Each structure stands twice: as structure tokens, then as C-alpha cells.
Chain A
Amino acid sequence: MVVSPVHFIAVPLLAAFLMPILAKVNKNLLRIVPGIVLTYLGYVSVVLMNRVATEGTIIEVLAGWSAPWGINLVYTPFTGFLATLMIAMSFLIWLYSFKFKKVDDEPALKYFILQLMLTTGSVGLVLTGDIFNFFVFMEIIALSSYALTAFYRDRNGAEAAFKYLLIGAFASTLFLLAIVLLYSQVGTLNMAEISVRMHDVPTSMKVSILVLFLVGIGIEAEMFPLNGWAPDAYSQAPSPVGVAFAALVVKAGVYGLVRITYTLFGIEGSGIGPFLIIMGGITLVMAEITALKQTSLKRMLAYSSIGQMGFVLIAFGIGTHEAVFGAIFLMFNHAIIKGLLFMSGSYLVYNTPNKEIKYLSGYGMKMPVISLFFSLGALAIVGLPPFAGFWSKLYILLAAADGALYGLIALILVVSIIEIVYYFRVVGRLYFGKPAEGSIMRKPTVGGMIAMSILAIAILVVGFYPDIITGYIDAAASSILNTDEYIKNALGAVNELTPVENIIQ
């Protein structure tokens, strides 16, 4: 079987729609099928990664229509890296949630379908080379996220989901409006093509489109004034979904932001860079400040996630190769570390009222392994060596220093101190104090333990030996920065098959 990027979308989507039928056949199938699908996708992505490394960007044209008319998937090192990351995280989430919903099968069915759809959406969003499909995948993500957020009937999930929906629908509307305006100006939906034709667009219109895009995608990327939905959704969604938000949804959002700013509008000299830095800075500060005052562990993690995204935005805003490298590294780190934190954290707070931190005293003794994982994650996310988080922070700081942005460095470091404070509050609490009476520990499932162990090992390995991953990230950074190459590759397919020939076929 020849692997191609299409499988990323086709296989999970197919599986998702087949699952109700499969569930009728055997109830256990619906737990196993996502695993099989994701394992297969993992295989595909590994193969493709290797192929990209040797042959360069892979373009997959769908339905026989080549660019700029047809819908195409662009598998660059950058998108490939993100897709692989997403699939890997998705697989771990599946492992983690394998036995999570055993109470009754009906929600489990929905859950796995939605999870597969979420994966599809995220991976598709990353891979697509077409702005409207981008929108469609964004909506797939959004819809499955709404549903997943409201998954538990007994929590305030519905409220969170409604807020998410309200903002999310707004986002998609604005995004659509942007697409409309863009189309009216350039008359194409292929991103590479748009990028080429962007020069001709009058500035005011260009700015309006950019602003609409920024706001629309900024909502998904949790940019500051647009992120009111995020903490609620993170904290009310089932914990694997929290992981999925951190590892898939937000990453997709950031990807979109980057793709639009870098490829469509061009980062250099456009004022987008400083804008991203400023907005990222504000996001970072606001989120960390708010996180400091949280009493609920999950909300704290959510705000921390927002903060990290702000950090990523800063790094993308700086826009040098080093900064983008750091940003992608940070995206990777954030996915694995926040994944670990959400996974272990939700075990910790499983039985505490309101998921409050203050009830966690002394859990270090009751749940040693989980607490260890959480502490590891906490150490890593604040960027303490020798864990993974340190390297990404270091590279971003180096990039900032190269740009002589000393104030920014100071800001990042001050905020890191706030981050340290609230994370270490929790870690400190875990390791001393007496556990409250009658608190029941939830035993972690085998799948969950495996997932967390893999993440923990990944954090350690990347921390000790970052070179294991830096090669891929370097390639990814080059590919996102090199817009011309992207255009050439994406449109290069045109030269191989002329559209007319296509039509005739």
C-alpha cells in the first residue's frame, strides 16, 4: 500500500463514520479501532517524514484537480512534523482514555468518534494547502471540540462548551469573511497562489483581511483578548480532551496563524512580527498572572497553556530562523509536557471538590508515581534544565537576544518566575502536608500509565539529548520560513500536470 498524506484524513474519517457500525458488531472494536487507525497513521507519518527528509515536500492532489484549482495537501517538513506530533499525541490520548469511559458504551462510542474527528481536523488543517479547506477543518475541530467539551452531563461542560461555541462561531464567521474578502481580491483559494498574488492587493484591503484572519485564527490560538473560552473548556472537558486541546487544537490554531502570517502575508517588514510579539507578550503576562491566582488545578493548567501559546507567538513574531526553531520546539515541548501535566493532574484531582489545589496536600505519598510525573512536567514546563522545556526557552531567548530585544527577555523571564511560583506551589503541596481525610485515590489505568511514561521518557530524552529532535525541527523551521520554496513546491504540481489535461482525464 502506497502511503500518502491523504491517508491522514481519509482513514480516520472513514473509521469515525464506520465506528457506529463496528460497535454493533463488537463493543470492544470501538475501543480498538482508533488505536489501529492511529498506529497506522503513525506508520504513515514516519514513512512520510523520512521521505520528506530525502525528497523534499510532498504534494498530494485530491480529486484530480491540481493547484491552484484543486484541493491539495502539502506535506512539508513543518506540516509533517506537526502532523506526526499530533498523531503521536492522539495515539497517547487514545491509550490514556482506553478504559476511561467504561461506564456505558454509548458515550464511549461518541467519544472515540469525536476524538478521531478531532484528529482528522487538526491533521487536515495542518496539511491542507487550501484556505477554504483550512476553514472546513477548523470547523471540524471546532464542532468536535464543542461536543467533547460538553461531554460530561454532570459538569459545567455545557456552559464551557457554549462559551466556546459562541466565540468559536464568531471566529469561524470572521474567518469566512476574511476568506470572502480574500477571494474577492485574488480570486483563488490556494494558499501558495494567494501568496503569489498578494502583492497586487491594495493595502487597506490587505490589512482588513489580515485583521479578520488574525482575529479568527487568534481565537483558536488563544491570543489574549480572544481566549476567554479556553480555561473553561480545558477545565470542564474530560481530561484526555484537555490534552487534545493542548496538543492538537491549539497547535492547529498556532499553525494557522503562522501559515497565514508567514506564507500569505509575509512576516518581514510587515509589522506582523512586532504585533505578534506584543500580543504574545500580553497573552503571556495576562495568562500567567491569572494562572497564579487559580485555585483549580485544571484552570491553572489551562491558563498556563494560554501563556505558553503567547510565548510561541512571541517566538514566531521574532521571526528569525532561531526563533522559529525555538517556537516549533516549544510547540513540541508544550504538547508533550502539557499532555503529561493534564494526564497526571487529572488523576490527582479526580476526586477533589472543584479540582482545587488545596486538597492535594500529601498526594505525593499516596500517588507517588503520578505525583512524580506531575512534578516532572512542572519542572519541564517552566523550563528548568535538564528537561525538554529548557531547550526551547533557551533558543527563543537566544533569538530574542540576537534581535537585541532585551526588554522582551526580561519580560519572558519575569513571567517565568510567576510560572515557577504557581507550579511549585502545587509541587510543594504534593510533597508535604497531610492528605485530607477520606480522599479516595483513583488508580490509574494501565493505558494511562503507559501514555504518561512515554511522555515522561520523551521529556527526559529530549532534555538530555535534544539532538534527537532538533534535526526535524530545523528542517521544519526552514520550510516555514522559506515561502518561495513552499510556493514553488505547491504550485510545482501544476507544471507536472497541466489543468487542462486534468480536466480531460
Chain B
Amino acid sequence: MENIDFNQILSIAIYGSAVGLILIGLYAVLMKKHLTKIIIGLSIIDAGIHLLFIAIGYISNGTSPIFSEKGISLVSEGTKMVDPVPQALVLTAIVIGFGVTAVALSLVIRLYRHHQTARIDQIKTLKW
């Protein structure tokens, strides 16, 4: 048991939880009838993907991604620096996700006012 690489367990855990989050979110989106729950599901999926993204960019024991003058060569050397791009992107994605959630919630409020219900299977005035 001493051979167990902690990092490996960690990465499995992170990847696993990312996939798990995505699946949970998917379940919520597809199965839950309440609008708010669906939106929560979407957020969970987002979170899962962000986690995944970060995990991909993370390199254990890496340094923080600050370029020096030899920045380029650092990359080509490979392993020492944590990839900064995913982190930057995830930040952006979180912001976007936030925006989407906000819009979605405002829509839910309006839908509730209009239909007096928040169950998605009852809001079907537009079809076919």
C-alpha cells in the first residue's frame, strides 16, 4: 500500500468528481421538473467542467505560471510550470456561467409570473 501515489489518487479523485458532477448535473437537467433545479443542474455541469479543465492544466509540483524572460524555454522544458491557460479560461467560463445563470433565473421569475407554475412540463404553450 505504500506504493500508492497520492497524486494519482488525487487526480483520480478530481477527475472522478468532475465526471460525477457532470453526471449529477445532467441528471438534474434531464429529470427534474422544476425550473430552478434544472438551472442548478446546469450550474453543476459547469462546475464539473471547470474542475476538469483545471485538473488538466494542473501539474503536480509545478510552479506558478509566471513568465520570465526565458518563458518560452520553460514551456519547452515541460513539466515544471502549471499551465496558466486553463485557469484563465475557467475564470472566463465561470463569469459566463454566472451570466447565464442570472439570465436564466430572471427568466424563471418571469415564467412563474406568467404561468403560475415553475414545472417545465407544464410550460408548453409553444410546440409543434
Contact = CB atoms under 8 A, between A and B. Distances in A.
Looking at chain A's contact residues, is the secondary structure mostly helix, strand, loop, or mixed? helix
Contacts of A172: 96, 100
A160 B71 CA distance: 49
A499 B104 contact: no
Interface in B78-97: 83, 85-86, 89, 92-93, 96
A165 B53 contact: no
Given A172-B100, A500-B72, A162 B126 contact: no
B69 interface: yes
A503 B67 contact: yes
Contact of B114 (A132, A143, A158, A169): A158
Given A136-B92, A176-B93, A183-B56, A504 B69 contact: yes
Interface stretch (A23-31, A145-153, A414-422, A445-453): A145-153
Given A132-B89, A169-B104, A183-B85, A159 B46 contact: no
B126 A160 contact: yes
A500 B75 CA distance: 13
Given A150-B107, A180-B49, A503-B67, A169 B42 contact: yes
B99 A143 contact: yes
A59 B99 CA distance: 31
Contacts of A158: 107, 110-111, 114
A166 B110 contact: no
Given A150-B110, A156-B126, A184 B72 contact: no
B21 to A, nearest CB: 11
Given A132-B92, A162-B108, A184-B56, A173 B67 contact: no
B125 interface: yes
A236 B111 CA distance: 14
A166 B86 contact: no
A427 B33 CA distance: 42
Contacts of A166: 29, 38, 42
B56 A290 contact: no
Contacts of B114: 156, 158-159
Most B-side CB within 10 Å, residue of A143, A290, A499, A504:
A143
B107 A236 contact: no
A183 B85 CA distance: 9
A143 B126 contact: no
Contacts of B31: none
A503 B45 CA distance: 36
A132 B69 CA distance: 26
Contact of B46 (A160, A173, A189, A294): A173
13 contacts: A135-B93, A143-B103, A150-B107, A162-B111, A172-B100, A176-B53, A177-B49, A183-B56, A183-B85, A187-B83, A236-B126, A293-B128, A503-B67
Interface of B: 22, 29, 35, 38, 42, 45-46, 49, 52-53, 56-57, 67, 69, 71-72, 83, 85-86, 89, 92-93, 96, 99-100, 103-104, 107-108, 110-111, 114-115, 123, 125-126, 128
Given A168-B100, A176-B46, 13 more contacts: A139-B96, A139-B99, A156-B114, A156-B125, A158-B110, A158-B114, A159-B111, A160-B126, A162-B123, A166-B42, A172-B96, A183-B85, A500-B71
